[in-house]
Amino acid sequence: MADYENIRYVVAGPMALITIDRKKKHNAISLATLAELQHAVAVAADDDAVRVITITGAGDKAFASGSDLEEVLHRDLRKALEPIVQGLAEQLERTPKPTIAAINGICMGGGLEVALGCDLRIAVPRAQFATPEGKLGIIPGGGATARLPRIVGRGWGMEMLLMGEPIDAERALQIGLITRIVAADELLTEARRMADHLAQFAPFVPRTMKAMVHFGMESSLAGALMLEKYAQGALVQTEDKVEGISAFLAKRDPDFKGR
């Protein structure tokens, strides 16, 4: 396992927990932090024991307060265009395993963009969300202008991007930015419960479902439906399909093999 300076990586049961650990900077995300996050996600994706990848922040104040502004101050065009800036969220979307953002506090700027790359987002009541880059003379550079409107709709996407004002967890829940509000002392417990739940499915199911949604959002309705038909055709030929239906009819727990 690699030695990380800015994150922690722990596997427990079916879940890999990646913690952004820069508490003195409210878990602000530097380019080095991005690189470590990308490495950890790749490690988790290649680990057959890991079924779900969860990202959270260290401490009780911030998931990630944004990009490290001391770096951004000196960032030039060449650095801004480097693939790593947008790469993590894209990696989270493309990894076949479900990803969860367990948001334990401030989630703004680059931190929000990390969360937007995850498939599921849950948050504590005190969480705050914003894209404040406009106040700094820049715009989001990690994918928020593309992903945020797709998740919350054009209206709220414009509201958050243009106004740059923070919204609380209740509003985030209302607009679909998050799907669950969880007590602070239960956040990681809930993430583990979700991971345990997902681990009960046949391995092909969550990854195929995830791929269908991401492809479908970028495709025409006809194209998405056609691919869904072929994906379902592939899954109905698996041993796990036979096992899943047989177990249901026999009122027993299935024993999926991933084949």
Give pLDDT tens digits for 183-227: 999 999 999 999 999 999 888 888 888 888 888 888 888 888 888
Q: What is the CA radius of gyration of the chain?
A: 19
- Which residue bears the tokens 């691919």? 227
Among residues 115, 30, 36, which one has the least CA distance to residue 73?
Answer: 30
State the number of CA atoms in the 13 A half-sphere of 115 facing the CB: 34
Active site amino acids: 113, 133
In angstroms, the CA 97 to CA 50 distance is 8
CB proximity list for 133: less than 8 A, separation 6 or greater? 109, 139, 140, 141, 164
In angstroms, the CA 232 to CA 68 distance is 44
| In the chain, alpha helices (H) | 31-46, 69-73, 77-80, 83-94, 110-116, 144-152, 154-158, 169-175, 187-199, 204-218, 221-235, 239-249
Over the stretch 227-237, which tens digit does the pLDDT of each residue have? Answer: 888 888 888 78
Q: What is the pLDDT along the chain (259 residues), one digit of tens a residue?
A: 578 999 999 999 999 999 999 988 889 998 889 999 999 999 999 999 999 999 999 999 999 998 777 666 666 555 554 555 678 899 999 999 999 999 999 999 999 999 999 999 999 999 999 999 888 888 888 889 999 999 999 999 999 999 999 999 999 999 999 999 999 999 999 999 999 999 998 888 888 888 888 888 888 888 888 888 888 888 878 877 787 788 888 888 888 887 8
Tell me how many helices (H) and strands (E) the chain has. 12, 10
